[in-house]
A and B are shown apart, each in its own frame.
Chain A
Amino acid sequence: MSSEFLAQHVEALKPSGIRKFFDLASKMDNVISLGVGEPDFVTPWNVIEASYHSLEQGYTAYTANAGLIELREEISHYLQETFSLHYHPETQILVTVGASQAIDLSLRAILNPGEEVIVVEPCFVSYGPAVSLAGGVPVSVSATPENEFKITPEQIEAAITPRTKAIILCSPNNPTGAVLSKKDLEGIAEVVQRHNLMVLSDEIYAELAYDEIASSIAVLEGMDKHTIVISGFSKSFAMTGWRLGYVAAPAELIAAMTKIHQYTIMSAPTMAQHGALEALRNGNDSVIEMRESYRQRRNFVVKALNEMGLTCHLPGGAFYVFPSIKATGMLSEEFAQRLLEEQRVAVVPGHVFGESGEGYIRCSYAASIKQLKEAMDRLARFVTEHRL
């Protein structure tokens, strides 16, 4: 579809490869979907109830552009308590419409036309397009399975040019579940500081780390000036539909982002902000409970996959596993499509997250254990039938 009115750079954007699977899967019955990138839990009741209450009380107007100050104070407190990050509620935090808007704002605030942003693949499908829409040029660097899909400082260094402005990191990672350790981050931080780059650190899955607390690159010596921390309520508090995220960064950057935000969005939804306030004040028990459940399901799925011969390392976080399907000799796309058609299990082919995802599939374990068992049985049948 084309129109003479379309802007060229928008027309040039490729639709996400995920779309195709969505269309295919939606038309079939009896599909178990492991293709969902969001929690299977409903938002904790106390959060929903707090949002109801705010509506009953008549909190239906705009909030401050940067978000309710009470909420920014709670975010500041939470970041400090949970991740040892120090951000001032009045000048260094902005409440956004999901972490997605935070990514968009960050890129628009820092990029001049033609400046490059290093995108570490496999990654969330929006990073590259968001860079392009902000006038920048995405430069892909592939994290490899040999290093458990963790990017190395050397790989980053090799991609740096005089036009490089920033790098986007996501840990715990969608789609691989890989978590960068403090040591991994130190190596990256050294390169970033030496080349005077900015890091967009997507920490939306930070609460969902199962073996150790996920550390933020912003806590490292000198990195506060080089980091934009992006997070939100979607994954940790099961609030995807509320569309509420935030960005924490040096004051000048937040001021610039707030300008864009003020002219384009005004303020994030007020009722969602009241829900988020309750989530931060009284939601920690729910987070702990959900994390324990995800960890058990991760263990279950990784064991089941390895037993059926799809090799899969134990990912440290998020709610995805990224097994290799190379034993079947199929490409990701063919595997995913035939699995859907023959066994009615939806997964996302790894290549949609970047070139290095070819030969892998993303399975989300944000599904009930009953569904996961059935999905693993079907997947095992499929693998047995198609093994090389």
Chain B
Amino acid sequence: MKQKEIELLKLLEKNGRIDNDTISKMLDLEVAQVEEMIERLEKEHVIIGYSTLVDWSNVYDDEGVAALIDVKVTPVRGLGFDKIASRIYRFPEVKAVYLMSGSYDLSVSVEGKTMMEVSRFVSEKLSTLDTVLSTTTHFILKKYKHDGIIFDDGDDKDKRIMVSP
């Protein structure tokens, strides 16, 4: 992939709201070239979507709960883990699913409004799947850093002196 495309992707990954005019100046391109590049990368599914990182703990009364669930499964002949993964990741309360090396197979990230809601999902939906052997649920107590961004990063004041040689 071309250098400028990589730079563009890195900029958008860090800030999905950066405008095309700014990008064009930073990458020494025309605005039309940037538009065309983004459109193409979207079409090619290199850019899959744009999202906003929200610290819900700062939203009034709507903290919710999140859990990471270790899932052991029996792989299906001919289909491996993909089949069972797809059964799991289609539930809307599932935010992420990863195939893992080590003592369990799938790591499933689940979010719900209450602990009860998450527990019910695990006991009624997840552990009842044929191929699921066992689940271990870990509730997240506090998020410090997510997707490379530190949630409460102290004061972000510029600590440099105003003018220096």
Contact residues in B for A38 (Cβ distance below 8 Å): 160, 164
Inter-subunit contact B7/A125 (CB<8 Å)? no
A-binding segment of B19-27, B40-48, B122-130: B19-27
B33 CB, min distance to chain A CBs, angstroms:
14
The reply on A36 being an interface residue by CB < 8 A is yes
Q: How many A-B residue contacts, CB cutoff 8 Å? A: 60
Inter-subunit contact A18/B26 (CB<8 Å)? no
A346 to B162, CA, bound (A): 8
Sample of 13 more A-B contacts, CB < 8 Å, known A36-B161, A37-B165: A18-B165, A22-B163, A26-B161, A35-B163, A35-B164, A36-B163, A38-B160, A38-B164, A40-B158, A296-B26, A300-B25, A346-B162, A369-B22
| A-side interface size class | 20 to 34
The reply on A195 being an interface residue by CB < 8 A is no
B106 CB, min distance to chain A CBs, angstroms:
31
The reply on B28 being an interface residue by CB < 8 A is yes
A35 to B10, CA, bound (A): 28
B121 CB, min distance to chain A CBs, angstroms:
37
Mark contacts of A5-22 with chain B using CB atoms, 8 A cut-off: 1 yes-contact digit, 0 otherwise: 000000000001010011
Please give the residue numbers on chain A whose beta carbons come within 8 Å of chain B beta carbons, in ascending order: 16, 18, 21-22, 25-26, 31, 33, 35-38, 40, 124-126, 174, 292, 296-297, 299-300, 303-304, 346, 348, 369, 373
Contact residues in A for B164 (Cβ distance below 8 Å): 18, 22, 35-38
Contact residues in A for B11 (Cβ distance below 8 Å): 296
Q: A292-B7, A300-B22, A373-B22 are in contact. Are A25 and B162 (CB under 8 A)?
A: yes
Contact residues in B for A300 (Cβ distance below 8 Å): 22, 25-26
A26 to B163, CA, bound (A): 8
Contact residues in A for B18 (Cβ distance below 8 Å): 369
